[in-house]
Amino acid sequence: MQPPTNSIRRKALELGFYKCGFAKAETLEEEKVIFQDYLSQKRNAGMHYLERTPEKRLDPRLVMPEVQSVIAVIMNYFPAAVIPGQDNFILAKYAYGKDYHTVLMEKMKVLGEYLKAELGASHVRGFVDSAPLLEKRWAQRCGLGWIGKNTLLINKAAGSFFVIGVLLTDLILDPDMPEKDHCGSCDKCLKACPTGALVEPHKLDPERCIAYHTLENKADLPETLRDRFNDRIYGCDICQDACPFNAFAKPNSEPEFFVNPELYKMHKSDWISLTEKSFKELFSETPVGHVGYARLMRNIHFATEKK
């Protein structure tokens, strides 16, 4: 009889996930010191939600008491064609298509039902940025990649343009081997960052990070960084674009992640004159919709005005 992990992997691939892996549900002891250091140095900046229930982020049994195994899945969002940057503002590639939270959760719900109907699971819960879990750490534990010097999950065969989902289940599943670090002596991501946000390998200062400011920061954007945003108005991708492993990135085949054709027609003047009505039409079901019209326009004006 084949182990249930084989059938779960097959089902995950059927659903469009790039890869699926497994880990025993236990305390992330190795990560405890790293996370506590992260919080003590206030490297979460304005992301105060990371300070709430930190113990849950380190032990999935505090999120779901019945859990025996953690299942991590990753899904490719790399586009077939990058939106032209000439006379344009730039969005992070994960924002090109439909909101990945919705896409992943729909697929994970199907995978969860499979665990119950076919493998006898009594308890399954799926999360996409919706629970106090360290998703990247669990993805590494499940053998899907390692956390690179740019603090993102990197898969050796396909790069880093992936979104992560985590399922907790009461099934006892054979764990995979955690992935090892393959960054070696490479420091291209650190050198590429225009704001110096990667202050050292594996250490990100969000107060200097373009992605943090355009996505999370609800206050005024820092004048000291005004000339370094390089026309980015939602997210960044610079450290990912610099990563050699992304030379292996392949276009995704998920229709929900395909680019809205209207975005290919946009120029700076179109962004600057964007109305709230047009914003809703373009972005209501995308990640950009989460920041709202006012904050996106704040980002656009910040990128437009020079010191």
Closest Cα to residue 52, out of 66, 65, 64, 35? 35
* Phi–psi pair at 188, nearest 5 degrees: -60, -35
The label of the residue with tokens 């890869």 reads 19
Catalytic residue from among 129, 176, 241, 270: 129
Using alpha carbons, select from 129, 131, 159 the residue that is nearest to residue 64.
131
Place of tokens 């704040």: 298
> Pairing relation of β-strands 19-24 and 69-76?
antiparallel
Q: Is 181 marked active-site?
A: no
Give the residue from 220, 238, 222 showing the smallest Cα distance to 230.
238
8 A C-beta contact, residue 126 and residue 135: no
Give, for 31, the enclosing helix (H) or strand (E).
helix 29-40
Residue 4, both tokens: 């249930």
Strands (E), the chain: 19-24, 69-76, 90-91, 124-127, 146-147, 153-154, 162-169, 198-200, 203-204, 232-234
In whole angstroms, what is the distance from residue 225 CA to residue 159 CA?
Answer: 28
Q: HSE (CB half, 13 Å, CA atoms) of 230?
A: 14
CA 39 to the chain's CA centroid: 20
Longest dimension (CA), the chain: 67
Catalytic sites, residue numbers: 129
